[in-house]
């Protein structure tokens, strides 16, 4: 158990809908990263938040957005869903101090868009 939690574990929805994925980082970790893992694209970095502020952006679509709240949990919002958005969505947290400064991954949310 990495200490990172994600809800829900599975999500099935229809095209055009909007969903929210939730991530709680390990206690004391300030950074949250979001990744999308699909069969044909591998692990794609989406976005990173540090202590409530956006720190880095990767291959995140405009239809997607995220935020990190004062208690450091984060939400990833996916809107106008398309079939191609079906994937595993992972969050990872990082302490941002100490060595080694690595990421710890949550169990993921499997999104299926029908």
Partner 1 sequence: GEDVEQSLFLSVREGDSSVINCTYTDSSSTYLYWYKQEPGAGLQLLTYIFSNMDMKQDQRLTVLLNKKDKHLSLRIADTQTGDSAIYFCAENDYGQNFVFGPGTRLSVLP
**45 in contact with partner 1 (CB under 8 A):** yes
| Alpha carbon distance 25, 55 (integer Å) | 16
Examine residue 68 and tell whether it contacts partner 1 (CB under 8 A): no
Among 12, 43, 83, 114, binds partner 1 (CB under 8 A): 43
Residues 3-22 that bind partner 1 (CB under 8 A): 4
By CB atoms closer than 10 A (0-12, 13-18, 19+), residue 28 is: exposed
Q: Are 35 and 45 in contact (CB under 8 A)?
A: yes
Contacts to partner 1 by CB under 8 A: 2, 4, 31, 33, 42-43, 45, 48, 50, 55-56, 90, 92, 99-108, 110
């Amino acid at each position: 158990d990495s200490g990172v939690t994600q809800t829900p574990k599975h999500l099935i929805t229809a095209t055009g809908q909007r969903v929210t994925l939730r991530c709680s980082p390990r206690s004391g970790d300030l950074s949250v990263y979001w990744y999308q893992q699909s069969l044909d694209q591998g692990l794609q970095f989406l976005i990173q938040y540090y202590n409530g502020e956006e720190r880095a952006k990767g291959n995140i679509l405009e239809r997607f957005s995220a935020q990190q709240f004062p208690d450091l949990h984060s939400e990833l919002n996916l809107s106008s869903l398309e079939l191609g958005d079906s994937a595993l969505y992972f969050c990872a947290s990082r302490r941002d101090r100490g060595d080694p400064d690595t990421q710890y991954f949550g169990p993921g949310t499997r999104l299926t868009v029908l």
